[in-house]
């Protein structure tokens, strides 16, 4: 999934089945706002991946469409367990805020 995410302007189809791998791929490439609303903080793992990939790829241009596809899937997919519903709703709110911040910071994307 990570390799497919890196293709700009061709977001992978995120379905209920591919949701976990899309989340994992985006966790390496796309910074998501923390739950407390603090600014982005890069983890050592994401920095170690983003830095070399950023040398030959526009990461924001590649990851942003996938993040938007993941947001649509969060909002569209129905789950029965209330705890999962709540978790997905919280993730969708944070992801939407992160997408908005990324769009403001990267106007060329």
70-94: pLDDT as tens digits: 888 888 877 778 888 888 888 888 8
Q: How many domains, the chain? A: 1
Q: How far is CA 72 from CA 14, 20, 96, in A?
A: 9, 14, 10
**DSSP 8-state assignment for residue 8:** T
Domain boundaries, position 83: 2-105
pTM: 0.77
pLDDT digits (tens, 9 = 90+) for 10-68: 778 888 888 888 888 887 787 776 665 555 566 676 677 878 888 888 887 888 888 88
Q: Which of 37, 41, 15 is nearest to 27 (CA)?
A: 41
How many CB atoms are closer than 10 A to CB 70?
26
Q: How confident is the model at residue 106 (pLDDT cuts 50, 70, 90)?
A: confident
**DSSP 8-state assignment for residue 18:** T
- Cβ atoms of 29 and 87 within 8 Å: the answer is no
Question: What's the sign of the alpha-carbon dihedral 53, 35, 75, 78?
Answer: positive
pLDDT digits (tens, 9 = 90+) for 12-25: 888 888 888 888 88
């Amino acid at each position: 999934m990570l390799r497919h995410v890196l293709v700009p302007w061709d977001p992978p189809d995120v379905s209920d089945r591919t949701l976990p791998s899309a989340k994992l791929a985006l966790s390496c490439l796309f910074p998501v706002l923390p739950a407390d609303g603090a600014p982005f903080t890069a983890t050592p793992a994401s920095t170690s991946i983003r830095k070399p990939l950023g040398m030959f790829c526009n990461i924001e241009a590649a990851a942003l469409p996938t993040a938007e596809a993941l947001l649509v899937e969060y909002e569209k997919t129905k789950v029965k367990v209330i705890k999962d519903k709540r978790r997905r709703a919280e993730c969708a709110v944070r992801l939407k805020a992160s997408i908005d911040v990324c769009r403001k910071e990267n106007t060329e994307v």
